[in-house]
Amino acid sequence: MFHYIDGGSDDEWTLRRNRQGFADYWLLPEVLRDVAEIDLSTELVGQRIALPFFLAPTGMSRLFHHGKELAVARAAEKFGTFYSLSTLGTTSLEEVAATIATPKMFQIYILKDRELTREFVQRCKAAGYEALCLTTDMAMAGNRERDLRTGMIMPPRFGLGSLWSFIAHPYWSLNFLAHPDFRLANVAHRVDALGGGAMGLIDYVNSQFDRSVTWRDVEWLRGEWDGPLVVKGVLSPADAERACAVGANALMISNHGGRQLDGAPAPVDLVRPIRDRVGDAAQLIVDSGVRRGTDIVKAIALGADACSIGKAYLYGLAAGGQQGVEHVLGLLRTELVRAMTLLGCASINDIGEKHVAELGEIA
């Protein structure tokens, strides 16, 4: 479980770069500013949220804790920010919608079964989701060698290699036995994904995703969905411009947490060039590598509107369920308040390009 959360693809070069990229920027504070009150709220795809970061879609949360996606969604509601549910979630989109009242985003794929994709759109409309997030970088699964070494399968099973780890974590293991529901809740009625027993995660991903998807299919999805559309996986100014041309309201600059193409750039390094290309045509979200409040400040100063976190909250979920996720969100919120106070910015709108510089830019 740990390596599935923690790992990346191939040599994990991109995974490491996602963190190192933030270290290549200075923060430039302004002193003697009135920062007695700090306002972290911002607007994202038409929704006012209490934080400039939100919870990214991550698949199969039941792998990590029996509270599943609902534990994460409740934590997001408590902190007043977006919760994003994955197509490959182990909780249905309707159950999430019935559980929380704060803004919800559904992460969608254009699958081989286009009717299933269309069905997701209609279900999201009926359930009151505020936005769709189309993931574009999963034509096939990345080469996640840690998962191959550890024998990661869905649903998990006890094996000789992992037996001691299960014994050393009795609380998790007992709940694993007491709550054995590992169904992919949003597709179970149409795709017998796991009905035949355990299968490799990479095998499942590669069996479901369509390598023929193009920008024409994004146009088709835009025609099916009349609400805000976020395109996730954009890593070049040219693709960012194409996404805006087909109707994207926001772009999630993401390399899938370093889990797909190894050697891809860190999202934080692409904020400036993408903002320069698209201007105000779309909001920009930095996804991948965000671990600190200062990371969020740097991303916004470079031109992003918000950040999203995935791995960060999954560590909390695996360690302590909803309470663990809340702990992570609380740490980030506290760090963000501190960073903005020391930077001399009382609100998110105060953060700008003058507050950030590349290491070599300062004489």
Is 315 part of any known ligand binding site? no
Q: What is the largest CA-CA distance in the chain?
A: 65
> Which residues, including other chains, have CB under 8 Å from residue 214's CB and lie 6 or more apart?
none
Q: Please report how the helices 114-127 and 215-224 are oriented relative to each other, as an axis angle in degrees rounded to 10.
A: 40
Using the structure block, give the residue that is written with the tokens 């302004």.
30
Instruction: In whole angstroms, give the CA distance from residue 212 to residue 40.
Output: 41
Residue 114 marked as a ligand binder: no
Residue 41 annotated as binding? no
Q: Is 341 annotated as a binding residue?
A: no
Beta bridge partners of residue 356, listed in sequence order:
27
Residue 169 is assigned to a ligand binding site: no
Q: Give the ranges where 151-282 is alpha helix by DSSP (H).
A: 163-168, 170-178, 201-208, 215-224, 237-245, 271-278
Do the annotations mark residue 171 as ligand-binding?
no
Q: Is 289 annotated as a binding residue?
A: yes
Buried b / exposed e along 312-323 (16+ C-beta atoms within 10 A): bbbbbbbebbbe
Taking the CA atoms of residue 342, residue 343, residue 346 and residue 348 in that order, the dihedral angle to the nearest 10 degrees is -130
Q: Any binding-site annotation on 7?
A: no
* Given the residues 179, 256, 327, 355, the one annotated as active site: 256
Is residue 109 a known part of a binding site? Answer: yes
Q: Please indicate if the annotation marks 142 as binding a ligand.
A: no
Q: Is 320 a known ligand-binding residue?
A: no
Task: Report whether 57 belongs to an annotated binding site.
Answer: yes
Whole-number Cα distances in Å, 89 to 58, 167, 238: 7, 27, 31
In the annotation, is 66 catalytic? no
Binding site listing for glyoxylate: 4, 109, 144, 256, 259
Binding site listing for FMN: 57-59, 86, 107, 135, 232, 254, 287-291
Instruction: State the catalytic residues.
Output: 256
Binding site listing: 4, 57-59, 86, 107, 109, 135, 144, 232, 254, 256, 259, 287-291
